Amino acid sequence: MDIVRNPATRINLTRRSHFYFFYIYLSKSAYYEIAPFQRKLFEITEDTTNKLAVVVGFRGCGKSTILTMSYALWSILGTQQKKFILIVSRTQDQARQHFKNIRQVLEENKLLIADLARSNKTIGT
């Protein structure tokens, strides 16, 4: 079954898995093959027993893309159903940019928009 072409399967899978959420809806943000460090970030976000995680990585390793943009979206839209997201950055300008990136995804990602509309009408939580 082709996950990308089957909306119900895609929605159910991406609700359960941050990894698949990222690679289905935000694949344009993945410039290289996933590294073990990045796979660990997805594992951390999917583990609901984690109450606090501190991540340190080199500039450009995907921390902000995976954690600040993708996880913020998935934690609200996925099975975790978070109600509040706190984004902490070094500067106010950086925090604003993170929010702009999230907003852009919600306004321009046609597949995600379509699936949100579908899931609100046809697929139960």
pLDDT for the residue 64: 87
CB 14, CB 21: distance < 8 Å = yes
Q: What's the predicted TM-score (pTM) here?
A: 0.85
**What is the tens place of the pLDDT at every residue in 46-85?**
999 988 888 878 887 778 899 999 999 999 999 999 999 8
Mean of the per-residue pLDDT values of the chain: 87
The residue extents of the domains of the chain are 7-121
Q: Which two tokens stand for residue 15?
A: 């609700």
| 66 three-class SS | helix
* Confidence band of 45 (pLDDT split at 50, 70, 90): very high
